[in-house]
Structure 1
Amino acid sequence: MSVFSFFRQKKINKKEIVKKIRKKYGIQRDYHIRYKRYVMCLREENVLFQKINNMSIKLKLTATILLITLIPLMASGFLSYHSAYDSVYDMTVQDLKYMTKVKAEEIAAYTKDGHVDAAMSEKIKALVDDVETSYYKANGLSGYAYIIDDQGKVLYHPDPQMIGTSLANESFAQEILKEKTGYITYPWKGEEKVASFSQLPNGWELVIGSYLKDMMKPLLFIRNQMFVISLVSSLLAIVIGYVIVHMLTKPMKELVQAMEKAEAGDVTVQVTPGSKDEVGQLTHMFNEMIREFRNMLRQVHEVSEQVAASSEQLTASANESTRASEQISEASQEIASGSEGQMESVRATTEALHEMSGNIQSIADKIQAVKHDSSTVVKYAHTGESSLKKVIWEMNDISEKVSNTEVQIRELGNRSEAIKGIIGTIHEISEQTNLLALNAAIEAARAGEQGKSFAVVAQEIRKLAEQSGKSAREIAMLISDIHAKIGTAVTSMGESSKAVSEGRSVVEEAGQSFSSILKAIADLNKQIELVTASSKTISEGTEHIVRQGDEISRLASIAAADTQEVAAASEEQTATMEEINAASEMLAKMAEELQAHVSRFKIS
Structure 2
Amino acid sequence: MKIRMKLFGGFFIVFAIGIILAAVGFISTDKLTLLSEDILGLSETRSSVSSILISHYIWRHGLSETVYSGTAFTGSLDSNTCSLGKWLNSDDVKNVKDPQSVELLNKVIEPHAFIHSKAGEIINLLSNGQTGEATRIFREEVLPKTQEVITGLTQIDGRYGEVINTEIHQIYDSGEYFQRMLIIFSIAAFIASVVLALIITSGIMKPIISISGTFKAVGEGDLTARTNITSKDEMRDFSDTFNVAMEKIRNLMANIGKEAESLQSIGNTLASNMTQTAAAVNQITTNIQSIKSRVINQSASVSQTHATMEQLVGNISKLNEHISDQGNSLSQASSAIEEMVANINSVTQTLVNNAGNVQTLQEASEVGRSGLQEVSADIQEIARESEGLLEINSVMENISSQTNLLSMNAAIEAAHAGEAGKGFAVVAAEIRKLAESSSEQSKTIGTVLKKIKSSIDKITSSTTNVLNKFEAIDSSIKTVAMQEENIRNAMEEQGVGSKQILEGISNVNRITREVDESSDAMHQGAKEVIQESANLEKSTQEITSGMNEMASGTHQINDAVAQVNGASSKNRDAIDSLIKEVSRFKVA
Query: TM > 0.5 between the two?
Result: no
Higher strand share: 1
Q: Which has the higher helix share?
A: 2
TM-score (norm 2): 0.30
TM-score, reference length from structure 1 = 0.29
Between structure 1 and structure 2, the one with the greater Rg is: 2
Q: Higher relative contact order at CA 8 Å, sep ≥6: structure 1 or structure 2? A: 2
